[in-house]
Structure 1
């Protein structure tokens, strides 16, 4: 059974997008050129409350492609076991840490 993480408050669960490290013909890219700080939003929390108790919703939604800061976020591993081959790595960010959304 796979675990499902539902973020609290203004947290956003993101799966980082890893660009390819080589071309189809086998040419390797330099490490710096393959680093793109973007990810896909997997889940969002409900938001935080202001001083009057009203909920301020999170600004991104599930499925958005977002631009992430170079450092930050809390790594979360979800899977059946620690040694599980299918274990996936996600990152939790606060809504205000996300730099923007990417559109095509």
Structure 2
């Protein structure tokens, strides 16, 4: 199965949480804060949303940072995804 977002929606796959701190302390699963960093899996076509023309600024494969409580969590074929509006993405992470 494949998720195909509509309008200004973006499908994200959350990156793994850090399991150790910078000083080497191993964190149990409950103590790990969910990262707000994800990889873009699929991007909608954009179009007109609320009377404004939307041109998508991210593409599949981009690593992004999104707002903390944004989006809808979806589980498909054992994988977890987050579907957000493009406006909920606040930055693209460049290497």
- Large movers: runs of 4+ above 6 Å: none
Q: Residue 87 of structure 2: SS of its match in structure 1?
A: helix
Q: Which residue of 1 aligns with 2:16?
A: 18
- Aligned-pair CA distance for 1:35: 4.0
Q: Could you say which structure has the higher strand fraction?
A: 2
- Aligned-pair CA distance for 1:70: 1.2
Unaligned 5+ runs, structure 1: 80-86
Unaligned 5+ runs, structure 2: none
Q: Residue 96 of structure 1: SS of its match in structure 2?
A: helix
**TM-score computed with the length of structure 1 as normaliser:** 0.74
**Count of residues in Structure 1 that have an aligned counterpart in Structure 2:** 90
Within 5 A, what are the aligned runs for 1:3-82?
3-22=1-20, 27-29=25-27, 31=31, 35-49=34-48, 51=51, 56-79=54-77
**TM-score computed with the length of structure 2 as normaliser:** 0.81
Structure 2 CA distance for partners of 1:89 and 1:56, relative to 1, 3 Å = same
Q: Which structure has the bigger radius of gyration? A: 1
- Aligned-pair CA distance for 1:27: 4.4
- Aligned-pair CA distance for 1:89: 0.2
